[in-house]
Structure 1
């Protein structure tokens, strides 16, 4: 009798919650469609000729012009070279920035020294400085050092990324200091403790920082435009900007280029999405 009454009560409760669940799923479905539609429209544009982007009624079905648009795009900006430039610069930047930012965040989180909070505050305040205000001094520095038209000039200015330091520092603060002290008592050096004891537990936060760093560099337009003068060195955002002419814009080429430029970001996020969620929730240390 108790079991049957419990089952009836649970069924009645589920029946009352059914409209609420349906409404929630409908709302989530609407947000999903709104989120995905720009990507779908981008794909549709890449498979149709330029004129069909503005037809009335609009075209929502894939076309047959993707190969032609890709061929025209490749003849305009050399997709293979541009893709290599962007991948090489972005991946090298992620690795370099993670090393620098993780060391800085670890020092700010686990070392006691005078002025530590002041330095961290300075990092946070630097996030409020408009990036455009630093362009002229950075350009003069790179020009004086003879580093224009080099990958180093694109990577170096943002290698110490304040937000990545902030994100990693918050996760380093959650790491038990007792484990670090135990490793020191066992005779381990600071770099060995950092590499062998602390960093393995920081994989989720490193993945989260990696996604932010990769997207920052991959989508970086203004600084590569300023520092790179040769078309063979251009990254994807700079190369795509050359497709926007004053008199005519081939939107088939533009949408094809944007589609190709979006794929690496999606793949990078899908590979690291589980660690990204854990890192953003601050659950790197269990």
Structure 2
């Protein structure tokens, strides 16, 4: 009884600590800037005023659309490329492929900050011949983050539990390897795709450093860049900033809660 009571008390405290920043953000969005700086923890009556300021003086809608374009494009391409790579590494195993995969995993040890300068120089040189995917384009934001070693590793590990008899049955029925992948593997691994999609979408939506470096036009700013710009003013309006952050959080929260069951199943490695 004592152990169970301690467990519930500990989990309750952990839940409050985890959810408090989000609740404080919601409350702050209803208060004036001066109330936020004072640490007011009660809802105010300035939500309408803050919302009008956001609509009148901040280009929030274009920033949301830019973030949506980048996040959706990155997620769709990452699901295709990472799943194909993970499938290939596991189904067609060889010593050479294992060496390549180990090198791929070692790349996870390199911080992205160390890659920014060579990436920027590469896209700068590309801008001279292919301006559509050069500096200050959405393509330059998407391409370096379109897939990661972690995603490939994630799909390969999930493929280990995929029933290989289904692959053999598809080949016997005359399906090509791509047919087996798209008609058997993809539908069966939907929980893995859901988990990977949530991780990729949230990471892309919240990406700040690389868009800050590669995007130069104000009209192409994503939501994290817009929020950073709001907070760097001489006298930032914290009520407005909190409201913008709250609005920017909603897409990722909606995606997560809609796919929560599939996310849990995918992270635990279940295949249905």
Query: What's the TM-score once normalised by structure 2's chain length?
Result: 0.93
Equivalent in 102, 113, 131 of residue 121 of structure 1: 102
Distance 1:92 1:42 in 2: 29
Distance 1:233 1:100 in 2: 26
Confirm whether residue 39 of structure 1 aligns to residue 22 of structure 2.
yes
Distance 1:74 1:167 in 2: 41
Confirm whether residue 106 of structure 1 aligns to residue 83 of structure 2.
no
Shift of 1:112: 2.7
Which of these two proteins has the greater Rg computed from alpha carbons?
1
Of residues 259-268 and 107-116 in structure 1, the stretch that sits farther from structure 2 once superposed is 107-116
Equivalent in 136, 142, 160 of residue 149 of structure 1: 136
8 A contact 2:77–2:146 mirrored in 1: yes
Shift of 1:22: 3.4
Equivalent in 232, 240, 262 of residue 219 of structure 2: 232
Shift of 1:246: 5.2
* Residue in 2 that maps onto 1:220: 207
* Residue in 1 that maps onto 2:234: 247
* Residue in 2 that maps onto 1:78: 59
Distance 1:74 1:25 in 2: 44
Confirm whether residue 51 of structure 1 aligns to residue 38 of structure 2.
no
Equivalent in 203, 211, 217 of residue 190 of structure 2: 203
* Residue in 2 that maps onto 1:30: 13
Shift of 1:179: 1.7
How many equivalent pairs are there? Answer: 266
Confirm whether residue 60 of structure 1 aligns to residue 41 of structure 2.
yes
Shift of 1:114: 4.4
Structure 1 stretches of at least 4 aligned residues deviating more than 6 Å after TM superposition? none
Alignment RMSD (CA, Å): 1.4
* Residue in 1 that maps onto 2:168: 181
8 A contact 2:28–2:41 mirrored in 1: no
What do the CA deviations read for 1:188-218 (whole angstroms, capped 9, x no partner)?
A: 1000100111111111111111111011111
* Residue in 1 that maps onto 2:259: 272
8 A contact 2:81–2:147 mirrored in 1: yes
Distance 2:124 2:136 in 1: 10
Confirm whether residue 170 of structure 1 aligns to residue 157 of structure 2.
yes
Q: Which runs of 5+ in 2 are unaligned?
A: 128-133
Q: Which runs of 5+ in 1 are unaligned?
A: 1-16
Report the 3-state secondary structure (helix = DSSP H, G, I; strand = E; otherwise coil) of the residue aligned with 1:60. Answer: coil
Distance 1:53 1:75 in 2: 21
Equivalent in 113, 116, 123 of residue 135 of structure 1: 116
